[in-house]
Chain A
Amino acid sequence: MRQSQTVLRIRGVTKRFGPLVANDDVSLELRRGEMLALLGENGAGKTTLMHILFGHYRADEGEVEVMGRPLPPGSPRAALDAGVGMVHQHFTLAANMTVLENVTVGTRPLFSARLRQGAARRRLADLSARFGLHVDPDARVRDLSVGQRQRVEILKALYRDTRILILDEPTAVLTPQEGEQLFATLRLLVNRGLAVILITHKLREVMAASDRCVVLRHGRVVLRTATHETDADTLARAMVGGEVPRVGRRPGEPGAEVLALDGAVLCDDGGRTLLDGLNLTLRAGEILGIAGVSGNGQAALADMVSGLLRPQAGELRVHGRAVAAPSPAGMLALGVGRVPEDRIGTGLVGDLSVMENLVLEIYRQRPWSRWGLLDFSAMRRGARELIARFDVRCQGPGAPARQLSGGNMQKLILARVLSGNPSVILANQPTWGLDVGAATFVHKALMEASRAGAGVLLISEDLDEIFQVADRIQVMHRGRLSAPVRPDEADAAAIGLAMSGHGDARSEAARAS
């Protein structure tokens, strides 16, 4: 049963951060029992708009109405009480506490003498059963998988009788199966009269699940349409503001070996085998794609190539010479550039400025420092140039790196790595969580670097990405690599099977050799 009752009305919201206009006169409406997709590239202002709705930010202009009543700005409490619930992209859960504690915090008057966990437990069990969101209420959040944590976030909102549920990039962290399960749950919720806002840039999900779409670009609404009246191409064009850039593959002429692993073995402290005799050869001018579900040894492989871990058996060669005692600085000196998996944790130092992050690996060299003193004016000049060349959207060279959006963080890392002209580039999940535009930018940058003679080791869970840019593909499963295949010879289904460990002949062959 559908009613076209408007539950949320946003009128003329404008929000500025310094000179940056994040939302420019944005208006939208949400009706009961519908799923609205809010689309846009990174930095288009989707997340800012939702933070305003949820009271984390105050809008400079405009107003928000929930159920026909104006929502007082700047108060998450008011938003919650009005029935607005939000599932953030970065979960807001306390890892050391239980599911039940995370769900119930703040739901009872602060100064009552009892927690009434018994009643809370029953209510949680009831919600879990009704919406198929199964999770152990007494489990500690740190022991849960990412998909389970998201279920806890949704339960947190449902526990509070949420009528408007906002999900920020909900599938960015999920496996395809978990994603499907999530959409089944959301359908169930919408059918019961909830209104859902889905913030995303995955067009496939939008087309499959949403009722209406609103597209934001540079903080403005550029398209407003019913989903069945549009198609993925139209939406993509609206998001990017023109034709969608496509990456063309080119036949490469691979050169000399730049990086090689010969039977590399690695065990963790507990004696578990992480890498079980890896063989790979990366040549100048090629992109070698390492496909596989994460957790199969990719992290160990990346750490080894970065110089953080030393193989316990086997050999690591750079430019044909064995590296006996690899260290991060040593690998850097040998020309290995690194685009790490965790942008915020290991890629950047969030509290340092953009320009400081750009010279993190070279600050001891001229012209960035002289006689042991940093030359900030040289750093600022260099940073301006790289910001322009790599189109990093930020408030300037002095802005803290943590203020950047995911896509711009990755551009910043690429700027640092590529400006050093590395001969080997390790790119670990380089487009994870990025939108189409930013991902295309990353792909182009990596392909340009390989055309200029660098060898690129691309570790990715995204098979489409691997097929799009890699010259050769190896599949990683349980610490082993299959023998390389060329994408035009390879069968996506076979590679997918190898990823899930349903053996393939070529990996057997690789092991035997």
Chain B
Amino acid sequence: MGVLELLLETGFWVATVRMATPLLFGTLGELICERAGVLNLGIEGIMAAGCMGGWCWVYLGGSLWGAVGFAAAVGAALGLVHALLTVRLGLSQHVTGLGITMLASALSSFAFRMLLPKATTPPKITPFAAMDIPGLGSIPFLGPVLFGQTPLTLLALAALAVTAWVLYRTPAGLALRMAGENPMAVESQGLSVHAIRTAAVMAGSALMAVGGAFLTLAAFDAYYIGMVNGRGWICIALVVFASWRPGKALLGALLFAAFDAVQMRVQQQAGLAIPYQVYLMMPYVFSIVALVVMSRRAAYPAALLVPFRKGER
């Protein structure tokens, strides 16, 4: 079966959109942080924390939507830690972010082991079911691809719309973008750069954690250690690919997910003629190539990575 045929198959697109969902959450979250001028390398760990937190909430008897809320809260709390260190104290954003990733990943595994010291197979929960919307679901192609997903996919698209609206159409978004371009311009207009950046990092981190929670609450029905598997780092690359624009972030997430879906299909069909690692590698090779091509004309937020210290010349 050729790739062309694959692209015409509805099932392929259903898988693509499903796999793009956590990436879209993560990329939007990272984009919000970076637009305010803060690189958040804690994303990989924050997604792991959301993954574990969401699963845990349901495992301990909570509702699915409660789990989404709890994951967001965990993410926001980790974002607050990142913001305190990088915004208030002006520490290195790279080092702090990597530290957050290590802390949050390890805490997630630790909490899992504390909760289930003897489990050999991860216990299952009942995840979000695919939606069954009368009418909408029976539209050809779009029905299954968009409305046959779990509600979290629609939530991701809603988050995209809200992010774009807030960034470009509200005073808060204007201030956030300007804090990432020239913090002095914001401070001299009587706004607090620290407050804006802290809020942006917390909101972005909450979105990342919801992206992580998608893995346990919708894509799969159990938690296992190492589940995020580098998706956070992919989101960092996708932000550059997207040139810090929400609309392009959707495109990037879909493109990467499509490569991943193609890779899985081809791998199944080609058998073992080629080592399977080669297929696994494909989406990452794509992301490197896309980065090289796109980032050549990417316009970074001018004040990304630059801490703002009040009263300093």
Contact = CB atoms under 8 A, between A and B. Distances in A.
Interface of A: 51, 54, 56-58, 75-77, 79-81, 86, 88, 92-97, 101-102, 104-115, 156, 402-403
Nearest to B174: A105
Give 9 nearest A-B pairs by CB, closest first.
Answer: A106-B189, A77-B190, A94-B181, A94-B182, A92-B184, A80-B190, A108-B171, A92-B188, A106-B191
B177 interface: yes
Contacts of B302: 94-96
Nearest to A108: B171
Contact of B178 (A76, A105, A107, A115): A105
A94 B171 contact: no
Contacts of A104: 171, 174
Given A92-B185, A111-B172, A106 B313 contact: no
B313 A115 contact: no
Interface string B185-200: 1111111000000000
A69 to B, nearest CB: 17
Interface centre among B171, B181, B182, B302 (most CB of A within 10 A): B171
A111 to B, nearest CB: 6
B172 A76 contact: no
A94 B178 contact: yes
A115 B187 contact: no
Given A57-B311, A88-B188, A106-B189, A93 B171 contact: no
A92 to B, nearest CB: 4
B188 A95 contact: no
B170 interface: yes
Contact of B188 (A57, A76, A108, A402): A76
A76 B174 contact: no
Given A114-B170, A115-B174, A105 B182 contact: no
A93 B170 contact: no
A80 B191 CA distance: 10
A86 B188 CA distance: 8
Most B CB within 10 A of own CB, among A93, A94, A115: A94
A269 to B, nearest CB: 15
B181 A97 contact: yes
A403 B171 contact: no
Contacts of A57: 311
Given A92-B185, A93-B182, A106-B171, 20 more contacts: A54-B188, A58-B311, A92-B182, A92-B184, A92-B187, A92-B188, A94-B177, A96-B181, A102-B185, A104-B171, A105-B171, A105-B186, A107-B171, A107-B189, A111-B170, A112-B170, A112-B171, A113-B170, A115-B169, A402-B313
Interface size class of B (residues with CB under 8 A): 20 to 34
Contacts of A102: 178, 185
B175 interface: yes
Contact of A403 (B177, B184, B313): B313
B114 interface: no
A110 B182 contact: no
A95 B181 contact: yes
B299 interface: yes
A88 B313 CA distance: 12
A402 B312 CA distance: 10
A403 B313 CA distance: 7
B26 to A, nearest CB: 25
Contacts of B191: 77, 105-106, 110
Q: Which of B174, B187, B301 has the most CB of A within 10 A?
A: B174
B151 to A, nearest CB: 25
B32 to A, nearest CB: 15
Interface in B50-82: none
Contact of A76 (B169, B171, B190): B190
A95 B184 CA distance: 12
B246 to A, nearest CB: 17
28 contacts: A56-B310, A56-B311, A58-B311, A76-B188, A79-B190, A80-B189, A80-B190, A92-B185, A92-B188, A93-B182, A95-B302, A97-B178, A101-B177, A104-B171, A105-B175, A105-B178, A106-B171, A106-B175, A106-B189, A106-B190, A108-B171, A109-B171, A110-B175, A110-B191, A114-B170, A115-B169, A115-B170, A402-B313
A425 to B, nearest CB: 28
Contacts of A86: 188
A308 to B, nearest CB: 24
A57 B187 CA distance: 13
Interface string B294-311: 000001011000000011
A111 B199 CA distance: 12
Given A92-B184, A402-B313, A105 B170 contact: no
A76 B170 CA distance: 22
A369 to B, nearest CB: 28
A56 B192 CA distance: 12
Interface string B154-192: 000000000000000111101101100110111111110
A104 B302 CA distance: 19
Contacts of B182: 92-95
Contacts of B172: 110-111
Contacts of B190: 75-77, 79-81, 106
B301 to A, nearest CB: 8
B178 A101 contact: yes
A104 to B, nearest CB: 7
Interface string B270-313: 00000000000000000000000000000101100000001101
Contacts of B177: 94, 97, 101
A179 B71 CA distance: 58
Contacts of A76: 187-190
B175 A96 contact: no
A88 B181 CA distance: 17
Contacts of A108: 171
Contacts of B169: 113-115
Nearest to B195: A110
Interface in B107-124: none
A86 B301 CA distance: 25
A108 B174 CA distance: 10
A96 B302 CA distance: 8
Contact of B185 (A94, A114, A115): A94
A81 B191 CA distance: 12
Contacts of A54: 188
Contacts of A93: 182, 185
A112 B299 CA distance: 28
A111 B178 CA distance: 16
Contacts of B184: 92
A119 to B, nearest CB: 13
B143 to A, nearest CB: 32
Contacts of A402: 313
Contact of B171 (A51, A95, A115): A115
Contacts of B301: 96
A113 B181 CA distance: 22
A403 B309 CA distance: 14
Contacts of A101: 174, 177-178
A144 B148 CA distance: 51
Nearest to A142: B302
A287 to B, nearest CB: 33
Nearest to B299: A96
Nearest to A74: B311
B176 to A, nearest CB: 10
A105 B311 contact: no
